[in-house]
Each structure stands twice: as structure tokens, then as C-alpha cells.
């Protein structure tokens, strides 16, 4: 089975802020506890399409991350409802039209540097990664790791809705 991950990461130390974002957007979903200054939010929405109600309701820094193992990966970064960055890399030529790039490298580098991993040389690694010059097994995972994003592997609303119970995911809040 191929991985199809899709998640939103709100820059905050407060899980309640993720719950409030889902409620303000009028979406059902799941909110993970804060890790590394990020709260992972999984809204119920159409897969691999940005959840517009979440973006419209957003007042902070929000990263939309997606990875489709057989197709490609990408992310969008929002400051409030303003898109700051947008990136997609598709694996096949038939999907080439879906590749896109709107990058503020200074902004991305500051996010990576705030993850507190100076030995990773985040500025250099991000530039190489997004230019396709960094040889890593999984560029999507490397991007998430550089930014300090938690809960990005095999994570999506669909997976959670299928597997969720209070015992399996301690600390995760379900918003109805």
C-alpha cells in the first residue's frame, strides 16, 4: 500500500489553538498535542486539496504538507490567510503540469533554523532540497524534519478516521 499523507501544522505550543482553528473553520477533524512548537491538525476535507475554510479561519502560521508516495510531494505555508510559499514536486512526466513553486527562501530558512538543528545546516539543505540537488531517500520527510514538523508519516484525516480510538492515540482531540 502506498502512503498518502496530508496534514496541517499550526505554529503554536497550544493544542487548544488547533481545536479553535477547526471550530472556527467549521470542520470536523483531529488535533494532536504540541511537539516542537507545532500542533498537527487534520481537517475532514477533500483529499489533496487545500481546505479553504481552514485557510480562511487561520490567524497564525500554518503549513499544509502532503506526500503521495507514487506521485509527489509538496507544501504551502500561510501567514493568516495569506499564502507565503507553495511548492510541489511530481515524480512523473504526466504530472509535470502540477509542479509549482512560490518560495520565500528566507522565510523557510528562518522556520528551519527555529527548529534548533544547526548541525543540519538548514539553509543550505533546504535550498538544495527544493532545487532537487539534495540526494535523500524521501525529500518530503527531509523537508518535514528540517522544519521540525511532527506527525507527518502516514498521517491524514482518512487514516485517523479509520483507525481512531482514544486508547490508540492518547492526547489527540477529536473535533465533531
pLDDT at 94 over 70: no
Please choose, from the candidates 61, 67, 120, 118, the residue with its C-alpha nearest in 3D space to the C-alpha of residue 90. 67
pTM: 0.92
Cell numbers at 172, concatenated: 489527540
pLDDT at 152 over 60: yes
Q: How much is the average pLDDT of 33-45? A: 97
Q: How does pLDDT run across 101-135, given as a tens digit for each residue?
A: 788 988 998 998 888 766 668 888 888 998 888 88
pLDDT value for 164: 86
pLDDT at 100 over 80: no
- Tell me how many helices (H) and strands (E) the chain has: 6, 8
Amino acid at each position: 500500500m502506498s502512503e498518502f499523507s496530508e496534514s496541517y501544522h499550526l505554529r503554536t505550543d497550544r493544542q487548544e489553538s488547533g481545536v479553535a482553528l477547526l471550530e472556527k473553520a467549521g470542520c470536523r477533524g483531529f488535533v494532536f498535542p504540541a511537539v516542537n512548537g507545532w500542533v498537527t491538525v487534520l481537517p475532514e476535507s477533500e483529499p489533496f486539496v487545500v481546505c479553504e475554510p481552514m485557510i480562511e479561519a487561520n490567524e497564525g502560521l500554518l503549513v499544509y504538507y502532503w506526500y503521495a508516495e507514487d506521485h509527489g510531494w509538496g507544501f504551502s505555508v500561510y501567514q493568516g490567510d495569506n499564502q507565503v510559499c507553495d511548492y510541489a514536486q511530481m515524480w512523473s512526466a504526466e504530472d509535470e503540469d502540477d509542479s509549482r513553486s512560490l518560495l520565500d527562501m528566507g522565510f523557510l530558512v528562518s522556520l528551519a533554523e527555529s527548529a534548533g538543528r544547526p548541525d543540519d545546516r538548514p539553509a543550505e539543505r533546504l535550498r538544495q532540497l527544493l532545487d532537487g540537488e539534495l540526494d535523500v531517500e524521501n525529500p518530503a520527510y527531509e523537508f518535514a524534519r528540517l522544519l521540525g514538523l511532527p506527525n507527518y508519516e502516514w498521517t491524514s484525516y482518512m487514516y485517523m478516521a479509520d483507525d481512531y480510538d482514544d486508547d490508540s492515540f492518547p492526547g489527540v482531540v477529536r473535533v465533531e
